[in-house]
Structure formats: C-alpha cells, structure tokens
Structure 1
Amino acid sequence: MTDTSPTPQNRQDPHLDPADDSDEPAFDWMKPAAPGTGEPDHDAGSSGTGTGAGASAVPAAGAVPAAGAVPGSRAGRRAAEAAADRAAPEEELHTSALQIRPPREEVERRNAEREQAAKAKPVLPRVMQVLLAVCFPVILLVLAVRAVTSPLFLWVEYNRPGFPGDGYGFSTDDRMTYGSYAVDYLSNWAGPRYLGELVDRNKDQLFKAGEVSHMADVKLVILSAFGAGVVLILLSLIAMIYLRRRSAGGIRRGLFAGSIVSLALIVGLGVLAVLGWEQFFTEFHRLFFANGTWTFSLQDTLIRLFPGQFWVDAGIVIGALVLLASLLTLILTWPTRKRRGLPKRRAAADAASGEDEGAAAEGGRGSQAAGEPAGGQAGKRPRFGRRAKAANAGAEEDPADGPVNFTAGTGADSGTGTGFDHPEADGKPSRGHSGAI
C-alpha cells in the first residue's frame, strides 16, 4: 500500500548518525584497505586500535591529531597523514637534466656561435646591393647610347658650327633626311628593305648592299643592348624594392657603389680613347662585327652621312652623360653622418665631453673621499684655497683690522658670497665680511 498523503512542510529529517561522525563511511566496504591485504579495514572503523590497521588508521609516532578529530575517522586519518608528511624529511628531486652541465669549452663555443649568428648580416641584401651596383653602370651606358641614336642628336650635329660638310653634294637637309632614315631603322622592327629600297634625287640606290648588311648588324647590336638594358632596369627595380623593405640604406649603398664603378669605367674608356682614338674605334668594331664588313669608301652614303667627326662627338656625348649621371648619383648617395643615422660631430663631441666631465667628477669625488684635495689631483689645492691663504696672510700682517672671518654667505641678489674684500658704506675696505659679490 502506497502512502499518498502530502509531506508536511516543516518536517525534520531523522538523525541517522548516532556517532556524530559525518566523515565516517556508511558501509564497511567503503573503508580503506589495510596495508598488505586486499580487504577493508573493519577493525579501524569499530575500535580504531585494531592490530590489523595500517599506517592510514594509526597515527605515526610523534604525530599529534587535529583538535576535535575522532580517532579512526576520515578526519583523523587525514590529520595523521599530514603530521607524518611534516615529520618526514623532504627528498631531493633527482633531475638529471638540471644536474648535468656541459663543459666550459662547450658553453663558450655555443656562446661564440650565438654572438656570431646575431652579428652576421643576411646574405640576400648584400647580393641585391651587388646586383644594383653592377647593373647601374650598364644602364647608364645604354641610356646614353639611346640618347645619341636619336634624331635630336642628329639635328644638333648637322647644325652645329664646325661640323664638316659633304664634298659629294649632300646638303644639310639631305643629310638630315637620309640620316633620319638610318637612325630610325636602328630602333624599329623593319627589315633590310627599309634602307635597301631608298633612292636619292637621281633615282639611284642610296645604300649599297654592304652598307645595308652592316646596318642590319648594327641594328642587332643596338636592339640587344636596349633589351639588356630593359632587363637590367627590371632587376634593379626588384632589388630596390627588396632593399627598401629589408635593408635600411641598402639602396643608397648599392647606388653609391654603382656610381663609383661607373666613374672608373668611363674614365678608363675615356683615357683609352684619348690616347688613340683610331685604335679604340677599330678595336670596338672588331669586338662586335666581323672583319671586312664595316669598312667603306669615302663616297659611300654611310661615310657621307656619318663622318669621323660624328663618331668622335658621339663618344664625347656618351662619356659626358655617363660621367654627369655618375657624379650626381655619387653626391646624392654620399654616406654622410645623417644618411648613416649617426649624430652630428658637434653632438658627438658634446656627448664625449660630457662623459669625460662625468668621469672627472667621479674621480674628484673619489679623491676627496680618499683625503685628497677637491682638484682631482694629489698634491694640488684649488685656486680658491690659494686665494684664501693669501688673504689670511695679509690679515695677519695687518692686525689693526681685526680678526678675519671667512664665512660663505648667501646674498639676495647674486647668490653665494665668498668673503673677499668689498667696499663698505663708509668707503673703507673690510676683510672677512660675508656678503654677495
């Protein structure tokens, strides 16, 4: 039969623990097992003094149970275990990783390698700087050649005073017209027919087959140089972008080195050209063209349009452009203290003098502590001491003035007075007066 009556609200639960031990297990199987056996410790729960009880039930020798703890209960066992832990000596932790240390030589070697790795600079920024330094003179040379192979330079040459005229009938206008065809052919993508089918006023062929063939070879060299210049410009831009992001001042150092290389190159070539222009011109053509393909007679169109003076002027203009660009780059990238991030010389000197003064002050304080004079050097007295000694000597010679009292006083106007002679209100000097000077 089931009781379905409602439970009263104020009903109290029955008291089920007559021993008043809330920590004691309710069942024997919940009690801890005695040491050396796999069975529960039944005696510990009943009497707390059984012979089969282990260390967990019987307090250790010298252990004092906690106040209010019932022997044999869970609280009593915890108090006994805590007292045993406090009484037992602490065992050292045997950690081989902490006890075994490498030898001193190994430690020094590792420290040296670590310092060297910290001081070592990355290799790739240096490679980019070298690449920029190598590309810069070639780019300048290609740009100068491109400036010469233009109708503007051709017009300047034909119209400048002193340029030799054509002894076979070409006027300045004829030279400008036919020469423009030849210059345009070097930079366009037209074939040999661009020059081979040109005729003069008499309907005669303007350029012979040998001249057209040589101009085709010149065009190949020029276009190859221009293509190499474009590739080097792209590589230089890549190097500059990388150095801008990864190396502070890398672009400046690369351009500075490139300007030095450009100056050395153009000065060397200029010296060779001045010492022997004909030899230099001949060796230059032998370097790029086969023998017999670039020699013509004075009546040929190429010689009439581009005489020897034209090539001399072209060489001078190329050298001047490269020289000016190199000098300008050298000036703009010169490693000054500001560009290298160093302080100015005056600021550095002031900082160094401040350090010296600080060191001297420290030395002076040390000398005073050791019993030396305040001047910082043993055996010397400050200037003020000598003056005071002289004043004392004068006062002793003139006893009518009374005793001398050298005391430092603080004036209201100028600071600290040193006690030297100064006029009184009556106009008489007084020694030993304290006041402001």
Structure 2
Amino acid sequence: MRERIWQALTFLVVLVLPLAIALTAVRLLLSPLFLHIEYRMPYFPRDPYGFTQQERLYWAEKARSFLLNSENIDFLARLHFPDGRPVFDQRELRHMVDVKRVVQGALLVWYATLAFLLGAAVAFWQRQRWAQFRRAVHRGAWLTIYAMAGLLVVVLLAFGPFFVFFHRLFFEGDTWLFPYSATLIRLFPERFWVDAFAVAAVVSAVIGFVLAWWGHREPRQEPDERP
C-alpha cells in the first residue's frame, strides 16, 4: 500500500510539472520585458490608427499592470486620451475584467503547482527517494517538451482556429471580439499573440530540457527507494 502511494505521487509529479513550467513561462510573459521587446521587433505591425511605439507601450503597460494588481476596473476606466475620450470602451472594460479573472486564476494554479512540487521534493528527500523524484522530473520535463513542440506547430500552422478555440475555452460568447479600431486590438494585434504563444512554448521547452538533463544526469551517491 505504501509503495502505491509513492507511485501515485510520482505520477502526479510527472503530470503537474508541465503545467507548472507552462505557467512559469506565462508569468514571465506578463513582465514588462516582453512588451518592450515585442513592440521593438522590426516586423511588428504599426498601428494604422496612429499610436506611436511609446504610446503603445504606455497604454499596454497600464493593461498589463491591471491584470496583476488588486485594483478594480476603475483602474482602466479612468484612463483617457488627451482629447478626453476614454482609452477603453465599456465592452473592452468588461473583457479586461474577464481576462483578469482568468489570469488571477492561472496564477493561483501556478502557486499551487509550485507548492505541490516543492512539497513532493521534500517528501521524496526525507524518505530517501530522491532518485525516484529526479526520474519523475525527467519524465515530466520530456512530457513538457513534447507538449510545447505540439503547441508550437499549431501556433505556426493554424493559429487562427487555435486562437478562437482558446478564447471560447475561457470566455463566453463573442465578448472577446472587437473591431480593428478598438484600443485592445491596436495594442495587441494578432502578431502579438502569435509571438506570445510561440515564446511561451519555446521558454517552456527550454526549461523542460534543463530539467530533463538534471533528472537524467548521474547523481552523486544519492539514496534510492527506501521504505
């Protein structure tokens, strides 16, 4: 019975690790660095309605900050252009509330996966099953690599259908659809999202390769399965 518990815990580590890695990549994308790099890429499309690069960065940073802070929607609702027009209309504001809910939920899941993996690592170490934990990490890392390779192929070959599926999975109806003149589309055109998903996949795969190497390399006199 005790051995089955350890086998189940090993299986959970394999399954949870890819989620933890993917959400780590997402959290990195939510940093200001990605915005600054992405908007400065030579192929990034200009805004046909007149935003300069600096204006895009300024308003996009406001949107990014809202997703991570504890403010309500008034944080965005009180933003106005110099001519007095609101930066985001009511439909965009409602969508940003939904996006914040999804992001905050994802971050909670991220914290939970990290806590689980840390707890599992401590348990395996204390029970002198560290090599078993490393093997689980190795398998979970390769599962991550395969999953991210598949995601990258989908993003590069069929981004449109994938993007629709993604939004229908997390948002109701057509609340995520906006005209090209909407501020959210001007700040975050399709190119932005193609790159975001591609970078998330690549970053996750890189982390996966590092952990796969760590889990596979020869340990130095590490104890293995003990009761």
Provide Cα deviations, 1:322-341, integer angstroms capped at 9, x if missing partner.
01011111112116597888
Q: Select which of 191, 198, 221 maps to 1:316.
A: 198
Mark the runs of 5 or more structure 2 residues left unpaired by the alignment. none
SS of 1:194 mapped into structure 2: helix
Q: Does 1:327 align with 2:220?
A: no
Provide Cα deviations, 1:130-172, integer angstroms capped at 9, x if missing partner.
2221211111111111111221111111122221111111111
Q: Which residue of structure 2 aligns with residue 196 of structure 1?
A: 77
User: Does the 8 A contact of 2:155 with 2:198 survive in 1?
Assistant: no
Q: Does 1:273 align with 2:161?
A: no
- Aligned-residue Cα RMSD (Å) equals 2.0
Amino acid of the residue matched to residue 158 of structure 1?
Y
* CA shift in 2, pair 1:167/1:339, >3 Å: farther
TM-score, structure 1 normalization: 0.49
Q: Which residue of structure 1 aligns with residue 132 of structure 2?
A: 250
1:272 offset after TM fit, Å?
Answer: 2.3
Q: Distance in 1 between matches of 2:36 and 2:220?
A: 45
SS of 2:42 mapped into structure 1: coil
Q: Which residue of structure 2 aligns with residue 167 of structure 1?
A: 48
User: Does the 8 A contact of 1:244 with 1:250 survive in 2?
Assistant: no
Q: Which residue of structure 1 aligns with residue 36 of structure 2?
A: 155
Q: Does 1:212 align with 2:93?
A: yes
Amino acid of the residue matched to residue 194 of structure 2?
V
Q: Select which of 301, 313, 325 maps to 2:183.
A: 301
Q: Distance in 2 between matches of 1:147 and 1:337?
A: 30
Provide Cα deviations, 1:74-101, integer angstroms capped at 9, x if missing partner.
xxxxxxxxxxxxxxxxxxxxxxxxxxxx
User: Which of structures 1 and 2 has the larger relative contact order (alpha carbons within 8 angstroms, sep 6+)?
Assistant: 2
Q: Distance in 2 between matches of 1:240 and 1:337?
A: 15
Amino acid of the residue matched to residue 175 of structure 1?
R
1:265 offset after TM fit, Å?
Answer: 1.4
Q: Which has the larger radius of gyration?
A: 1
Q: Select which of 4, 12, 15 maps to 1:134.
A: 15
Q: Distance in 1 between matches of 2:201 and 2:14?
A: 19
Quick one: percent identity of the two aligned structures? 31
* CA shift in 2, pair 1:172/1:339, >3 Å: farther
TM-score, structure 2 normalization: 0.92
User: Does the 8 A contact of 1:131 with 1:236 survive in 2?
Assistant: no
Q: Distance in 1 between matches of 2:222 and 2:139?
A: 15
Amino acid of the residue matched to residue 209 of structure 1?
Q
Q: Does 1:237 align with 2:128?
A: no
Give structure 1 regions of 4+ aligned residues with deviation exceeding 3 angstroms.
335-341
Q: Distance in 1 between matches of 2:90 and 2:42?
A: 33
Q: Distance in 1 between matches of 2:101 and 2:16?
A: 21
User: Does the 8 A contact of 1:129 with 1:254 survive in 2?
Assistant: yes
Provide Cα deviations, 1:360-395, integer angstroms capped at 9, x if missing partner.
xxxxxxxxxxxxxxxxxxxxxxxxxxxxxxxxxxxx
Q: Which residue of structure 2 aligns with residue 284 of structure 1?
A: 166
